[in-house]
């Protein structure tokens, strides 16, 4: 997706202002032209660098060019995040000069150290942490859970964005082995299997087809799966892309739910649970494809129901507030924890009320779980927010007494 022109202008102005500040700081403090000249040459290099990046086609480019663009952007960010951190610290260090005092050099030095740490952390997040899969075990208690499903294990994966890996299947193979090692009864995938187009999935079909669970793999679509991030020659080409994505999932033996539902039966044939899959419930600028009533026309009936909905905002808007909505568990993805999280601190919290982990409804009957995904998009980095596999164990819950 092309950056809005106002954002491009802001990026260029911020870059020029940052480099100009560092240039004059180097000149004034070192009193040597060499240090300032080096900064000037570096600034000129990165100005040309970002202009070249911004001129690259972003929506019609080949997958190889997308890889180039992604790593170009990431390299640029690792440099300028560190620079901006230093400038902010140095400005704080210079505040005493407003009252005739001296710059606090310790703060400036701290800015250099923090900037270097940020640079290292970003590359660590790209080269190491984004491949470190974390398995989270979650127990969910459900009223009226059929006895055959006591102890039933569901594995959730989400947001693979396989296009980010190009044709390298190493990580996806590792992920598949980790999921299979948990011996789940059912595997669910909650959307965003690709970045832009269905053919990104082709190198990974065999790997993902090895996911193994007694009751199979059930999947839904996410906002990246519809081809909305690329300019298609025609509406027919976009439709063919969607058909190809569905064909790949059939080849992988996945059951794709598109505003529909399926029944999973227990060892006792009279025991069952319903898995409901809505299409992406988009917020602007994403189109809204999801329709819960189409997927399951009577969501308030007594059947035990698990809802797969890519965007957790759907739960917040249409499930949690409606007391008559009997959805026993909603599973979502989408947020990635914005690929940066230190414990429960993440920039995702500024954008989403529900961005990672388990959230209870106001009546304690319809919880939501947000999986932060296994892949990356935009920048190939995860700091803290490690790729997630979630294993849910279903346990019967006693009915609350009514008065």
- Average pLDDT (311-335) is 95
Q: What is the DSSP letter of 354?
A: S
pLDDT tens by residue, 25-42: 888 877 666 777 788 899
Tell me: pLDDT of 2 over 60: no
Between 34 and 135, name the one with better pLDDT: 135
* Crossing angle of the two packed helices 105-127 and 63-93, in degrees rounded to 10: 160
pLDDT of residue 363: 92
- Average pLDDT (109-129) is 97
* Crossing angle of the two packed helices 63-93 and 5-30, in degrees rounded to 10: 50
Mean pLDDT of the residues in the chain: 92
222 contacts 259 by C-beta, under 8 angstroms: no
pTM: 0.93
The lowest-confidence range among 59-68, 72-81, 212-221 is 59-68
Between 38 and 76, name the one with better pLDDT: 76
Q: Rounded to an integer, what distance in angstroms lies between the CA atom of residue 209 and that of residue 332?
A: 22
Please report, for residues 80, 101, 107, the alpha-carbon distance to residue 111 in angstroms, rounded to integers and kept in the order given.
13, 20, 6
- Average pLDDT (98-114) is 94
Tell me: pLDDT of 1 over 50: no
pLDDT of residue 59: 58
84 contacts 18 by C-beta, under 8 angstroms: yes
Q: Rounded to an integer, what distance in angstroms lies between the CA atom of residue 189 and that of residue 221?
A: 9
Tell me: pLDDT of 401 over 60: no
Share of the chain above pLDDT 90, in %: 80
pLDDT tens by residue, 238-272: 999 999 999 999 999 999 999 999 999 999 989 99
Beta bridge partners of residue 342, listed in sequence order: 345
Tell me: pLDDT of 367 over 60: yes
Residue 226 exposure: Cα atoms within 13 Å on the Cβ side: 17
331 contacts 307 by C-beta, under 8 angstroms: yes
The CATH code belonging to domain 134-397 is: 3.60.21
For the chain, the domains span 5-127, 134-397
pLDDT confidence of 108, banded at 50, 70, 90? very high
pLDDT of residue 285: 72
Tell me: pLDDT of 53 over 90: no
Spell out where 178-271 has E strands: 186-189, 217-219, 254-256, 260-265
């Amino acid at each position: 997706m092309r950056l809005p022109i106002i954002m491009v202008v802001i990026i260029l102005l911020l870059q020029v202002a940052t480099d100009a500040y560092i240039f004059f700081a180097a000149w004034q403090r070192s009193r040597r032209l060499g240090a300032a000249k080096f900064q000037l040459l570096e600034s000129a290099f990165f100005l040309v660098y970002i202009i070249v990046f911004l001129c690259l086609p972003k929506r019609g480019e080949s997958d190889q060019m997308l890889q180039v663009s992604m790593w170009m952007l990431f390299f640029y960010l690792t440099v300028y995040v560190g620079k901006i951190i230093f400038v902010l610290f140095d400005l704080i260090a210079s505040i005493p000069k407003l009252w005739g005092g001296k710059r606090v050099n310790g703060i400036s030095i701290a800015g250099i150290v923090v900037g270097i740490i940020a640079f290292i952390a970003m590359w660590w997040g790209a080269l190491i942490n984004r491949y470190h899969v974390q398995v989270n075990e979650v127990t969910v208690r459900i009223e009226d859970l059929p006895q055959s499903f006591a102890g039933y294990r569901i594995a959730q994966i989400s947001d693979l964005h396989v296009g980010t890996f190009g044709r390298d299947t190493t990580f996806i193979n590792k992920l598949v082995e980790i999921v299979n090692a948990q011996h789940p009864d059912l595997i669910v995938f909650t959307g965003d299997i690709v970045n832009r187009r269905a053919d990104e999935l082709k190198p990974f079909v065999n790997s993902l087809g090895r996911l193994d669970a007694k009751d199979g793999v059930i999947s839904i679509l996410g906002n990246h799966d519809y081809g909305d991030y690329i300019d298609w020659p025609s509406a027919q080409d976009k439709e063919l892309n969607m058909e190809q994505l569905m064909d790949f999932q059939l080849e992988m033996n996945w059951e794709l739910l598109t505003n529909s539902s399926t029944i999973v039966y227990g060892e006792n044939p009279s025991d069952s649970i319903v898995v409901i899959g809505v299409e992406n419930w988009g917020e602007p600028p994403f189109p809204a494809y999801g329709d819960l009533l189409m997927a399951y026309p009577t969501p308030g009936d007594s059947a035990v129901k698990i809802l797969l909905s890519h965007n957790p905002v759907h739960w917040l808007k249409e499930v949690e507030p409606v007391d008559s909505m009997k959805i026993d568990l909603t599973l979502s993805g989408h947020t990635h924890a914005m690929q940066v999280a230190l414990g429960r601190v993440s920039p995702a919290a500024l954008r989403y009320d529900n961005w990672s982990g388990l959230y209870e409804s106001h009546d304690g009957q319809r919880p939501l779980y947000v999986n932060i995904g296994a892949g990356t998009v935009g920048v190939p980095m995860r700091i803290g927010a490690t790729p997630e596999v979630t294993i849910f164990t279903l346990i019967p819950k006693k009915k609350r007494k009514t008065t």
